[in-house]
Each structure stands twice: as structure tokens, then as C-alpha cells.
Structure 1
Amino acid sequence: MRRIIHNVSLADQAYNLLKKDISSAVLAPEQELPEEKLAADLGISRTPLREALKRLATEGLIVLQKGRPATVATFTKEDSLEYMELRQVLEIHNIEKIMPLLDQLLFDELKENLEHQLEAVQQNHYHNFIDLDREFHLILVSRNGNSKFQEMIHQINTGVNRAFLLLSNTLHVSAYEAYEEHVTLVEALESKDVSLAKEKMLKHLQNVEKRFLSYFHKEEK
């Protein structure tokens, strides 16, 4: 594990290094993360380390346990399917809710995000793509006036984000496919065709589910 460079936020650096080690399987699912050892490995105190661990827990990447070391989270096929079922219900309904509220500012945000998605794919920065994919869906729900609805989609996308991390060995294919699906969804939104937009969102989420199942099928073999 690389040590911290003391010229940027220590918590941010610890978070990024640990997230990378989790996503690349250097830190395996269910592996314990004792604070004393982690702090020594990173060359920092426990205070910024604990802040980093809290962020990782919020994203569903680790599990914090009272009186015991944190552990790297696991993500099963059943978890993936349950998250995807909820995403379909919420995100397709969200399309209908936000359609009358679409404006140029929203489309500018979405298109800027798409530009960054394409750059990430072309530069093989797949972990950046994961974050941009999540942001894309959060931009869409930002027009929904129901704050609880926003929170639910935010939470579910965070959970699904964990599955994307597990899929990192196939992201060179699936990331570009997801980018293209996002492009067609934005085009449908611009056409103001709510039925087409909902269809494109459903197709995208079904394809995400297929990519999950393909990953787990390979793991089971």
C-alpha cells in the first residue's frame, strides 16, 4: 500500500487509496481493516483514517462494526438484483416526474457529464467512469422535488456503485456500452417523448443487470 503524501487532505488521500485497493481486490471482501495497522501502513494518524472509513462506509464499500475492526463489504448476486429492481421502479418513475421540468441547464449538465464519461472511457480511467455514471443518474433526479425520492435514488446508486467496482475487470467493455445508453437516453429526453425516455431508461437498467449477471456467472464458474 502506498503511503500518504502530506500536501493534500489526509482523509481524502486515505479514502482514495483504500477505495482503489478495494476495487482492485488488494483488499478482499470481508477482510478486516484494523485501524492501527492501516494508519501505520498509510503513515497517518487515526483521525483522518476514521474520516476516510466513514466515507467508504457511506458508499457501501466497507462495514463499520462497533467494538470490532471495519471489514470490506461483500456484494452478492441477490444484492445486485434487489438493487436493480428498486432502481427500475424509482428511476423510470423519475423520468415521468421530471419531464415537465426539463430545461437547458439540465441538458447542459447532462452533456458535460457525458463528455467526461467518454473521456474516462477513452483514457481507461474506469474508476472515474464509475463516479460519473453515478453522477449522471443523480443529475436526473435533481429535478425531482421530492427530497426523499432523491435520497432513495442516491442511496441505491451508491449500493450499485459497489457492484460496478466488482465489475472493474470488464469495465473496458461495459463502460462504453453504458455511455452509449446514456447518450440515447438524453436524446429521448430532448425529444420530450416521455414514453421513449422511459423505454430507454428501462433498456439501460436491464443491460446493467445483464452485465451484473454476466459477472456473477463467470465468478460461479
Structure 2
Amino acid sequence: MSLIQSIASFITAGIIAASAAAILLILLRSLFKYLDRNPFNWSVRTVGRLTDPVIHSVRRLLIGFRIEPRVAPFMAVVLILVFGYFTFMLAENILNTVAGLVYVLSRPWAGAPAAITGYVLFGFLGLYTLMIFLRILFSYLTTGYPNRWVRLLYRSTEPLLAPLRRMIPMVGMFDVSPIVAFVILYLLQFVVAGTLLKGIFNLLIQSRDLLFTRT
């Protein structure tokens, strides 16, 4: 597991560094504006060029909700933290699935086939949940459908969300089908963990060979 743990540490450090750098740029942009720095200054132009895509997207989002656009930098920082957290969750989901498969394959036992199936299903359900969340996030940030990653998210999540939209009425102007999808996926993960992975979880707890420990 040492290789997987090293990869996990590297990814965690990368996510923290990238999030910190993005937040620092947002803060510098706000500071330059507060100090009324020359907009043609190299540092001001560079920071502006790097942060414009995020700030402009957040500003459009706020205007759409009739919220004062001046709070865009603050909301951008919040979104960066949220995006960083869910990126970490994605990495954790993938690495835990890989770690579980490696653990099962390295210790053959009677319940190995069920455990392998369980880990694959559990990882897929976690990944699918994150894809739905990212689809919602990108839709609010007005990221265009021509973007290939957005197209991938829509095509991958539409098989679940489309039937739910047809069955569940709108609540005012809000589509609550993604919330129902989250509940369904969570319940499915709970079922997988309580059936296919029940035996392997007991073995992992006994051996204390967990990649991530939650408190």
C-alpha cells in the first residue's frame, strides 16, 4: 500500500497547493483594486488575466441570482475551496477503490469475488455522485455545452437525471432531481457496503490496513 499512500499524499499536496495559489491570486486581485494600482502594471495585468475567467463566471452567476456582484471575489474563494474538496473526494474515491482491490487480490479468500465486485460498484457510485455535482456546478458557472468535459458530464449523468426530471415536479424554479439522485446513490453505496463489502471491511478493521481514516 506504500505506493498508493505516496500517490495519495502527492495528490493531496497538489490539491492544497493549487487551491492556495488560486485563492492567493484572488486576494491579490482584490488588494490591487483596493489600492487602486495602475491597471497597466505588469503584475496587475498578470493577476487580472489569470483570475478573470473565474471572477467573470462568478459575477454572472451572482447577477443571475440578483446578488451584489461586488462579492464575486469572496464567492470565488468559497467555490475554489468547494471544488478543491470535491477534487480530493474524487481522488480519495479512486485511490480507496484501487487500495481495496489490491488488498483483496493480495489476500485470496472465499469472499474475494464479492469484495472485488463491491469495491468496483462502490467506487463507481462515488464517482457518479461527483459527476452529478460537477454538472450542477458547471451549469451555474455558465460553462458552455461545447466544452468536451461538460458534454461528458451531461452524457454520463443524463441516463439517471432525465427519468428523475420526468417523474419529479419542479419546486418553484428549482430542479430537485439531482438531490433525489444523490439520495439514491448514497443508499446504493450503503447497500453495497453492507452486503458485498461487509466481510472485507471487518478484515480491514482487524488488520488496521486502511488507506484513509475518517474521524
Q: Taking structure 1 as the reference length, what is the TM-score of the superposition? A: 0.28
Q: Where is the helix percentage greater, Structure 1 or Structure 2?
A: 2
TM-score (norm 2): 0.29
**Which of the pair has more CA radius of gyration?**
2
